[in-house]
Each structure stands twice: as structure tokens, then as C-alpha cells.
A = this chain, B = another copy of it.
Amino acid sequence: MTSPLPGQAPDGQAARPLGVAMIGYAFMGKAHSAAWRTVGSHFDVPRIARRVVVGRDAARTAEAAERYGWEGSATDWREAIHRDDVDIVDICTPGYLHADIAIEALKAGKHVLVEKPLSNTIAEGTEMVAAAVDARRHGIQSMVGFNYRRVPALAHARDLIAAGRLGAIRQLRVAYLQDWLTDADAPMTWRLRKETAGSGALGDIASHALDQVQFLTGEAVTEVSGRLRTFVEERPGPDGREPVTVDDAAWITAELSGGAIATVEVSRVATGVKNGLRIEVFGDHGALRFDLENLNELWFMEATGPATEQGFRRILVSEPEHPYLAAWWPQGHIIGWEHTFTHQLRDFLTSIRTGDAPRPSFEDGLQIQRVLAAVEESAAAKSAVVQIGSADHAQP
């Protein structure tokens, strides 16, 4: 008889809580902490214990642990993930560390949640997928953090599309616009150097946009034409002006496996737009619209019934029947951006309980990396179309 995996209690026996180690405590660590603190009060998930936060600076990591409600802190991520009371490793570090930590954790039999993008290189991503596939055979789950799949309005959008309510999808228009780099005097950071960040708006926010394109339609991007632009070519660094070596904005025209065409435009210099992930989907008998700045709303149009009564309707996605919403507040009482992470944990923990592999998988994450690489290749070749290579590992 095999002993149950953590989170899967045998009949009649209380499971011990799933211990969590979180690596990294900056922006994403803060958001993930809020989700770990909250998920069990609103969703029926396996109990968890917030064991340890890992960071490089001992004092600041300890302070983060205290502030965000973790039992302890540590500076050695390897040690932390090998702890017996740790069952889940939540990776919130910069991308260049993802592969090492995730692979080590999976090999140690720990469930892994890793922030997007999966990795900075295709090579690393490919290794990560191999480790995930191997671990999955032993019931060890892995997932990449495209949290916007857990926006209730977008989950609802996907359901409507999957149910055929839009008909055959023809066009998607996706933009992810921010403006925090608008000012040419905003200082140089590691995010603006290719060697540390990999890319600019492309990896940071086009990755989200492309994941949505595929998530909403259930289709894969098969070819892309791309263009990249760095509008502010130098920024003030500690030792004077430095070249910016990543893109400020990217433009993508993509064909999907089902024949639809999607455009993706992303920018971090779109003056006046703060966090505008905007999505439009047009099918042959319906359409949808969404904007992350009003993430509780979904606009839905059905080209049925009398023409005199057709129009985009604003659905306030806050009914108990809407995805994830039964856990929250009465209708009309909106939820915030942070709960995309709470919902992500709800699904991740549920997959640990049930043994069903969660999505987006590492394969999904790698496929997005392949699309991003193809965009860069196209941009370097005067925007000529580039095909997306098929993935090495089929998705289960």
C-alpha cells in the first residue's frame, strides 16, 4: 500500500497541512503571500502551512516573513525546498533562477508553482518541462503563473467561447498597455538590460497577452510577424546614461491553429494607461470585450435576435454562478486584482488534491516562450512571418 501524497488524505484521517516554501518576496512574493493567507478562508482546499520565505538578505527576508505571515525565513533555497515539512515550492524569483529551483524542487518530489515567464531561455524551459513531465508521473504537480487565466471574467469568457456562443473565432485584438516607462528620465534598472531581463515588454506583458489568446480560444499560435521598438534608448544609471537593451513596445500579428488572426500590441510607454490588458474576440455570431483595469466586467454581444436589440452588454461578473465568485461577496461587490492569485492557488491546491495535472503547465509556458522567440526572430527579419516550432512534449 502506498502512502498518500501530501494533500491527499486517506479516508477518515485528517491530512497534515501542505507546507509551503516561497522563494522571493518582492512584488510577486507580496501578491502570492496575500493569496496563501487568504485561499483557505474562501475556498475548500487542502490545509496549508506557510512554512518559510527564502531570500538573499537575511534581515529583510525575516521582516517579509513577519509582515506577510510566514512561520519563518531562510536564505538558502536548496535547504528550504528539501525540508520535510515543505510540500510545495512557490517560485517568485527573477526568471533566470526559475530553472534551477524548479528542477531541484521537482526532483525532490515537491509540487512547484513558478511565476511567468517560465524561463529566460528555450533551453532552460525545455529542461524544466522534462523535469515536470517526469515528476507528473509520480503525482507531483507543476504550474506556471499566468494568473490572468483566473480572472473570473476571463474564465467566464473562455466558457462562453468553448460553448460556441461566439461561433467560429475570426479575430482577436489584444493590447497590454502600461505607462510606467513613459518618462525618458526614469532610471535604468535590471529590467531594462537584456542580460538580466531577457526582453522588455515582450516577455513581461506580451507573454500574458499571448497566453490569453491561446487560453480563450483553445487554439495555438502557429506563426507570427513581429516588430519591437525601444523608444527611450538611454536612461540614467548610477554611472551616467546607459543603453536600454530591451524593447519598450512590441507588435505581433499571429495566426492561430483554428484559422483566426490575433494582434497583440504591448507597451510600457502608453501614456495614461496604467494596466490595460484589453481583449476583444470576434466570432462569426458573437463577440467579447475585456479590460483588466475593470476586471470585474465582461462585455458580451450575441448576434442573435432582432437587430434592434443587439449590443454589447456589460456583465458584472459577480454572481455566485460565475467562476470563483461563490467564495466571495454578494453581487456587485467587486474583487481586486490580487485574487487572480488566490484563485490560482485554489486551482493549484485542488489539482494536488485530485491528482489531475493543472494548467497552464510547464509545456504551456514553454510554448509561450517559443512564440516570443519567434516574434524576436521575425522582428530581426523585417517582420517576415516565422512559424512556431512544435513543442517537444505533448500536453497530457
Indicate whether A34 reaches chain B with its CB closer than 8 angstroms: yes
- Complex interface: chain B residues within 8 A of A269 (CB): 170-171, 282, 284
Interface-side segment among A1-9, A16-24, A128-136, A286-294: A286-294
Per-residue CB proximity of A327-363 to B under 8 Å, as 1/0? 0111111111111000000000000000000000000
Given the interface pairs A41-B34, A67-B41, the reply to whether A329 lies near B338 with Cβ below 8 Å is yes
Residues of B within 8 A of A68 (CB): 41
Q: Is A120 an interface residue (CB 8 A)?
A: no
Please tell me if A158 contacts chain B, counting CB pairs below 8 Å.
no
**Is A209 located at the chain interface by the 8 A CB criterion?**
no
Q: Does A309 contact B (CB under 8 A)?
A: yes
Q: How many copies does the complex hold?
A: 4
- A15 contacts partner chain B, Cβ-Cβ < 8 Å: no
Q: Which of B225, B292, B303 is within 8 Å of A272, CB to CB?
A: B303
User: Is there contact, CB below 8 Å, between A184 and B284?
Assistant: yes
Q: Given B261, B286, B318, which contacts A251 in the complex, CB threshold below 8 Å?
A: B261
What is the 8 Å Cβ interface bit string for chain A, positions 19-34, against chain B (1 contact, 0 not)? 0000000010001011
Contact in complex: A329, B170 (CB < 8 Å): no
In this complex, the member of A265, A272, A383 whose beta carbon has the largest number of chain B beta carbons within 10 angstroms is A272
Which of A72-80, A104-112, A173-181, A187-195 is near enough to bind chain B?
Answer: A173-181
Q: Is A316 among interface residues, defined by CB-CB distance under 8 A?
A: yes
Residue of B nearest to A378 (CB): B383
Residue of B at shortest CB range from A340? Answer: B333
User: How far, in angstroms, from A394 to B315 measured CA to CA in the complex?
Assistant: 45
- Collect the chain B residues with CB atoms within 8 Å of residue A117's CB: none
A336 partner, pick from B184, B311, B335, beta carbons under 8 A:
B335
A65 → chain B closest CB, angstroms: 11
* A140 shortest CB reach to chain B, Å: 28
In the bound complex, CA of A136 to CA of B205 (Å): 51
On whether the beta carbons of A287 and B274 are closer than 8 Å, the reply is no
Contact with B along A285-312 (1 / 0, CB 8 A): 1110000111110001101001111111
Residues from chain B with Cβ under 8 Å of A182 in the complex = 284-285, 303
A312 to B179, CA, bound (A): 13
Provided the pairs A67-B41, A263-B265 are in contact, do residues A311 and B308 lie with their beta carbons within 8 angstroms? no
In this assembly, does A56 line the interface, its C-beta being within 8 Å of a C-beta of chain B?
no
A33 contacts which chain B residues (CB < 8 A)?
41
Does A249 have its Cβ within 8 Å of any Cβ on chain B? Answer: yes
**B-chain residues with CB within 8 Å of residue A253 when the two chains form the complex:** 225, 227, 251, 253, 383
Which of B34, B293, B312, B316 is A332 in contact with, Cβ under 8 Å? Answer: B293
Say yes or no: A300 contacts B293, CB within 8 Å: no
Complex CA–CA separation, A178 to B318 (angstroms): 13
Cα A313 to Cα B288 in complex, Å, equals 12
Q: Do B334 and A306 touch (CB < 8 A)?
A: no
Alpha-carbon distance between A284 and B184 when the two chains are bound, in angstroms: 8
> Is A257 an interface position by the 8 A CB rule?
no
Alpha-carbon separation in the docked complex, A276 to B289 (Å) = 14
Minimal beta-carbon separation of A340 from chain B (angstroms): 10
A301 to chain B: which residues have CB within 8 Å?
Answer: 271-272, 313
Query: Could you list 30 examples of A-B contacts with CB < 8 Å?
Result: A31-B329, A34-B38, A34-B41, A38-B38, A41-B67, A41-B69, A170-B269, A171-B267, A180-B331, A225-B225, A225-B227, A225-B383, A231-B284, A269-B282, A270-B287, A271-B282, A271-B303, A272-B303, A275-B331, A294-B294, A301-B313, A307-B321, A309-B313, A311-B316, A312-B313, A329-B337, A334-B337, A335-B337, A336-B338, A383-B384
Q: Which 7 A-B pairs have the closest CB atoms?
A: A274-B332, A275-B332, A336-B336, A313-B313, A272-B301, A311-B313, A225-B383
